[in-house]
Amino acid sequence: MTVLHIEYRPRKFGEVVGQEAVCRALAGLIERGESRAFLLSGPSGTGKTTLARIAARALGCADKDVLEIDAATHTGIDSMRQVQELIQYRPFGRSKWRVIIVDETHMLSKAAWNSMLKVIEAPPEFVAWFLCTTEPGKVPQTIKTRCSALTLRLVAETEMRKLYARVAEAEAIKLLPEVRDAVIREAEGSPRQMLVNMALCREAKSRKEASALLRDARESDGVAELCKFLMRGGSWSRAAALLEALADEPPESVRIGVCNYLGGALRRAASDKQACTILALLEPFVEPFAAGADRAMLAVAVGRALYGGE
């Protein structure tokens, strides 16, 4: 079965929807060799990481020499030191480049940022950095001044409709006009989200049914936000706000969602230290909540994850 948002992910600059100016600027910088550190910012789902991958191909970098780091999980200085050790070595084979893509880069710690100043300003001649973020205001100015900054925008509805029509024809998807409109509108300018919405609503028989499916999917984002918060830590007031946003979700459903998210993060852990940190966060959520559990049990689990049962 085709996974739409993967199958139709752009692989060349000319396939990117709604970001023509950014694509031209990035392609030009690469062709002229005028930068080896790029800061790509913009709303979620607009193509930051995709553009970084396309740029890596334009540089002639083999896939095996592209290192993608999720800064939501690997926030600390130890992770960045491991990367800096790696990039001292030239890639093997035909590839002439190593490309480092740091997603959600605004989540890096202050110590991690400070450790990167030199390697971003003057990386080895075969290394290029792509820092991707939805919150450029949280990126230190000392990093920004060392990068070529490019900002992606939400995609206009006219462009979204062209993408929808192309994919719908290729995949023989025939949604009711009102369902199609909901799929495009609820994507809010994100091509990736629209493709996810198309797949989700493929069998929807009415606008009401499609709206319910899209609402449920949107609300599940709250679980991901809670997990990201737990991994980077923070105040109880922030935890309470995230729990309040999940007030309508059954506590057991949230627990399962947390286990799934943190389990994925554990599989991607790059060191024993990171694995131990994630395992400690997982522990309070492993056991199913008792039947009829109220929100207090979920709050206790979050508290134990934050404070280690203190």
DSSP 8-state symbol, 8 = T
Quick: pLDDT tens for 15-67: 999 999 999 999 999 999 999 999 999 988 899 999 999 999 999 999 889 99
Amino acid in the structure at residue 286: V
Of 140-144, 153-157, 245-249, least confident by mean pLDDT is: 245-249
d(CA 147, CA 207): 45
Quick: pLDDT tens for 244-301: 888 877 788 788 888 877 887 787 776 788 889 889 999 999 888 776 667 888 999 9
Contact 306, 239 (CB under 8 A): yes
- Residue 150's pLDDT band, with cuts at 50, 70 and 90, is very high
Instruction: Give the pLDDT of residue 132.
Output: 94
160's torsion region: left (phi>0), alpha (psi -120 to 50) or beta? alpha
The tokens 């740091």 sit on which residue?
102
Above 80 in pLDDT, residue 154? yes
Residue 247: burial class (beta carbons within 10 Å; 0-12, 13-18, 19+): exposed
d(CA 26, CA 30): 6
